[in-house]
Amino acid sequence: MHTFPLHPDCPDVRRLADNPAEALLRAEADIVAAENAAERDRYRRLEDLEEAQQDGRGVTRRTFVAGAAATATALATAQFVTTSASFAATKTGTLVHVFLYGGLDGLSLVAPDNDPVLAKSRPDLLLGNDSLAVGRGFKLTSAFKPLEPWLKSNQLGFIPAVSDERLSRSHFQAADACNLGGLPGETGGRGWLDNLVDNLGAGTAFRSVGIGSTLPRSLIGNNGALSLNNVGSLRLNGDDRFRAATEKAIKGLFTGINHPVEEAVQDGLSALATAQRLAAKPYQPAEGVTYDGVGYAFQQLAQLIKGGANVRVATVGMGGYDTHENQGTAEGGQLWRRLNELASAMAAFFTDLGDRADDVTIMVSSEFGRRIASNSGGTDHGHGGVVTVLSGRKLAGSLLGTWNGLDKPDSGDVPEFNNMFDVYGAVAQGRFGLTNAQVDKMLFPQENRTYKPMKLYA
């Protein structure tokens, strides 16, 4: 909460004008001007952060020491309070939420074939003859060809026309609502994946993981979530020569204190030891699997899952989808390359996991879609985006949800035929076997709406 003086040089309102009414008006104007300046500064900082995140284009191969595990104080926080289950917990499945920052043009990913509205509105951005056939008369960009085997086996599906009335055309506001599962006032500022973790029972310190240097809003809340660029970065700060002594000291400080934090710290230290064990030798993916670009994030998840870390929810961020110009939907174009990098990473991940992929679901979404019409080779912010699902469990089809065509655009946008939070809820429900009430009351506690289940899985 900001407080502002009535006037920086003369706080006495009566001195702002001879007439009291004019003085009050001037004082109010000064307050409004100061508040507006502060708000502009706040949004400028947020935009700078957003641009930096997008420019980063996802994760890199660089390592860093995870700040969450840097000191004894951090070890004693809620990050490890929920680690009462053994490290080798029974496998219960994993949901990976991939968020594409910038606003993906869903019609450049999957679109109805030979659609007259698209032919008229975006003749330069139509999917080509090399596209892959999808159910219900849709076709898929050739950039997703690495995932064709899963498309043919009914494990890859797309939900078009996904949006919510809460989403604006502001990157920050829309991404915030998507990660929280509603507006801040409706969610209490907790991420929807953090709410989901409440419904999954006890787990290890790795049950909630964000791959990257910052934790997304979707994982922020009451449960401890780890944020790391790579598995080996989860370690104590300090000189390697003294790390063992430091761990011994921390263990001693929190032993025999007859307090719940004792168990939390012991489990936290165990998790650190396990992370270092996994990172002790170079990770070797399955034969023929290579990771590149955003694939390095998926490689970290593969190492954790195959190492028995019991990851329940995880996030991966990927920037570069704000395509106002030079969108490049055709092969070799800018957007085509981004989508191809994503598809290649997802294919490598599922191949690397082998049989373990049966217990994994990937959901890919963005803060909003883009407008139907092209704008000199690009597209502007819009609504009605696409959610992609790659699942070890068979899906009900390759084109899922409701589609009523583009004959009646929503102010130039793809209409909302499928509510975003119904889609999110249905994906999580199918992965973890949640009840309708759990999704409605826990995941998305929004005002004046009720969760409507969707049939996504076979």
pLDDT of residue 50: 53
- For the chain, the structural domain boundaries read 1-55, 60-443
Confidence band for 67, pLDDT divided at 50, 70 and 90: very low
Confidence band for 267, pLDDT divided at 50, 70 and 90: low
Torsion of CA 158, 297, 427, 202, to 10 degrees: 170
Residue 202 confidence (pLDDT) above 90: no
CATH architecture designation of domain 60-443 = 3-Layer(aba) Sandwich (3.40)
| pLDDT, tens digit (0-9, with 9 covering 90-100), for 366-389 | 999 999 999 989 999 999 999 999
413 contacts 384 by C-beta, under 8 angstroms: yes
Residue 83 confidence (pLDDT) above 50: no
pLDDT of residue 203: 73
Share of the chain above pLDDT 90, in %: 57
Q: Of 157-166, 207-216, 346-355, where does mean pLDDT reach its minimum?
A: 207-216
Mean pLDDT, residues 415-426: 97
Confidence band for 138, pLDDT divided at 50, 70 and 90: very high
Distance between CA atoms of residues 363 and 353, nearest Å: 17
pLDDT of residue 53: 52
| pLDDT, tens digit (0-9, with 9 covering 90-100), for 179-198 | 999 999 888 899 999 999 98
304 contacts 360 by C-beta, under 8 angstroms: no
- Decide: helix, strand or coil at residue 108: helix
CA atoms within 13 A on the CB side of 144: 26
Q: What is the mean pLDDT of the chain?
A: 81
Residue 163 confidence (pLDDT) above 90: yes
Helices (H) and strands (E) in the chain, counts: 13, 11
Distance between CA atoms of residues 145 and 137, nearest Å: 18
